[in-house]
């Protein structure tokens, strides 16, 4: 198992054991578990990530810590936008929609204001970091 996969596994276990709360770099931050289907492999994946509450939506940011490449989960969402998330003890079916233009810029700026690391990520890369809205499915 890679170091990143091991870290994800530990974070997921801590999240589930503590009703959505974890320590370390995510302590006190809103965290969710995003379940995706691999775009090429069809394999199930789970990624812990910070989110920004936005009405009934959960906004996630494909920052990959400022890498020049989008994270795999972002490509998976484009291929399979109907996914599941875990927030606290709740499991929700959601639909992913990428935000664009002024709405994207406004939401990213808000996240960077609340969590300055996101401003640093933006400075480290030339790509526009995608912002994805996860909207609970009706019913």
pLDDT of residue 139: 59
The model's pTM is 0.93
Q: How many domains would you assign to the chain? A: 1
Per-residue model confidence as pLDDT tens for the chain (139 residues): 677 778 889 999 999 999 999 998 888 899 999 999 999 999 999 999 999 999 999 999 999 988 999 999 999 999 999 999 999 999 999 999 999 999 999 999 999 999 999 999 999 999 999 999 999 997 5
CA distances in angstroms from 6 to 9, 49, 54, 72, listed in the order given: 5, 15, 30, 16
Q: What is the CATH number of the domain that holds 85?
A: 2.30.110.10
Range of the domain at 112: 3-136
Helical axes 101-114 vs 117-124, angle rounded to 10° = 130
DSSP state letters, the chain: --HHHHHHHHHHHHHHHTTT---GGGTTS-EEEEEEE-TTT--EEEEEEE-EEETTEEEEE--GGG-SS--HHHHHHHH--EEEEEETTEEEEEEEEEE-HHHHHHHHHHHHHHSTHHHHHHHH-SSPPPEEEEEEPP-
Could you give the dihedral angle defined by the CA atoms of residues 103, 106, 72 and 119, in that order, rounded to the nearest 10 degrees?
170
């Amino acid at each position: 198992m890679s170091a990143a996969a091991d870290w994800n596994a530990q974070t997921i276990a801590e999240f589930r054991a503590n009703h959505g709360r974890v320590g370390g770099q995510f302590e006190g931050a809103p965290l969710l578990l995003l379940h995706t289907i691999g775009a090429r492999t069809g394999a199930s994946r789970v990624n812990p990530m910070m989110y920004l509450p936005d009405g009934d939506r959960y906004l996630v940011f494909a920052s990959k810590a400022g890498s020049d490449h989008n994270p795999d989960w972002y490509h998976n969402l484009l291929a399979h936008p109907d996914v599941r998330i875990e927030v606290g003890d709740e499991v929700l079916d959601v639909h992913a929609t990428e935000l664009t233009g002024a709405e994207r810029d406004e939401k990213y700026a808000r996240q960077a204001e609340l969590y300055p690391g996101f401003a640093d990520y933006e400075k480290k890369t030339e790509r526009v970091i995608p912002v994805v809205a996860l909207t609970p499915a009706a019913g």
